């Protein structure tokens, strides 16, 4: 990585039997990795459509964990930039047909920042964001609603597990911060923020929320979000003027939950098919 940390990311590359289109890079969400179910399902869809696919593990996620001192967060888009730079150096032919980027949940928020600040350095044709927490503070409040207490408890346990799996010994203060965090907000405030130069959780949310970057995106980008997403308020999407930036498109069906847009009678999800149509149109322009 460019930051001199010595961290390395792991990714899995798949090429279709008959490559006809570009490279799709899939970016997982919070506590996810290359083997997350939605990543594996999407990989099959894109391969069947003639795209090469790169399943990227963010810094400290999945197979990247033993190789990273630091950890991904909602605004660490420079890691995606560094991964694409490495790919360009190692296999430039993969980029010849263009890059298509798909992010999920927290990875989608990270992708929005990348599209706004870094995409112009690469042959990015289009991007897509699925269930992105574009207002991180609003998402934190929703996740901590009493109705979401089971998921909140599960998510916090996964976040703690990831943090404790660091390849280098943690200090006593770091361990205490991880164990004492009683909520996602506490974890972001006591663990994520100090490790990444933020003054606290609210500073982290304010500086990294995708809403700050949407207006700066210039390549075709589709945002997919369900009105009934239990963890990310639809109001975050309704209060943004999507017509103000011609590069942006919004697909917001009433149902679909969080990264759960199943398509009746199909082996592939509705969001994959919708993004596939969007990418095909972008490539034809």
The catalytic site residues sit at 105, 229, 258
* Alpha helix (H) residue ranges in 71-130: 78-90, 106-117
CB under 8 Å to 176, separation ≥6 — which residues?
A: none
- C-beta of residue 186 within 8 angstroms of C-beta of residue 156: no
Under DSSP, the state recorded for 191 is I
Tokens (6 digits) for 6: 């010595």
Q: How far apart are the first and last CA of the chain?
A: 34
d(CA 258, CA 19): 31
- C-beta of residue 225 within 8 angstroms of C-beta of residue 142: no
- Neighbouring CB atoms inside 10 A of 88's CB total 15
Sheet of 248-251: strand order equals 11-14, 52-56, 23-27, 99-104, 124-130, 221-224, 248-251
Q: Which H or E run includes 156?
A: helix 149-164
The Cα diameter of the chain in Å comes to 55
**What's the per-residue H, E or C state across 169-188?**
CCCHHHHHHHHHCCCHHHHH
Dihedral pair phi/psi, residue 152, rounded to 5°: -60, -45
């Amino acid at each position: 990585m460019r930051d001199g940390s010595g961290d390395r990311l792991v990714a899995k590359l798949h090429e279709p039997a008959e490559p006809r289109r570009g490279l799709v890079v899939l970016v997982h969400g919070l506590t996810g990795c290359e083997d997350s179910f939605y990543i594996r399902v999407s990989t099959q869809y894109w391969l069947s459509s003639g795209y090469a696919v790169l399943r990227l593990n963010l810094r400290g996620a999945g197979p990247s964990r033993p190789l990273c001192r630091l950890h991904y967060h909602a605004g660490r888009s420079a890691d995606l930039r560094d991964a694409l730079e490495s790919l360009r150096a190692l296999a430039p032919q993969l980029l010849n047909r263009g890059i298509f980027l798909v992010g999920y949940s927290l990875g989608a928020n990270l992708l929005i920042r990348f599209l706004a600040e870094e995409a112009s350095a690469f042959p990015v044709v289009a991007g897509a964001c699925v269930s992105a927490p574009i207002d991180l503070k609003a998402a934190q409040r929703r996740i901590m609603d009493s109705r979401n207490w089971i998921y909140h408890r599960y998510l916090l346990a996964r976040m703690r597990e990831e943090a404790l799996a660091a390849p280098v010994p943690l200090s006593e203060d770091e361990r205490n911060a991880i164990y004492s965090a009683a909520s996602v907000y506490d974890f972001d405030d006591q663990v994520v923020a100090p490790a990444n130069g933020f003054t606290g959780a609210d500073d982290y949310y304010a500086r990294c929320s995708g809403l700050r970057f949407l207006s700066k995106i210039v390549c075709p980008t589709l945002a997919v979000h369900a009105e009934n997403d239990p963890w990310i308020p639809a109001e975050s999407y309704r209060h943004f003027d999507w017509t103000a930036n011609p590069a942006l498109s919004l697909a917001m069906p009433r149902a679909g939950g969080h990264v759960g847009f199943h398509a009746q009678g199909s082996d592939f999800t509705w969001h994959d098919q919708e993004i596939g149509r969007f990418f095909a149109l972008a490539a034809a322009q």
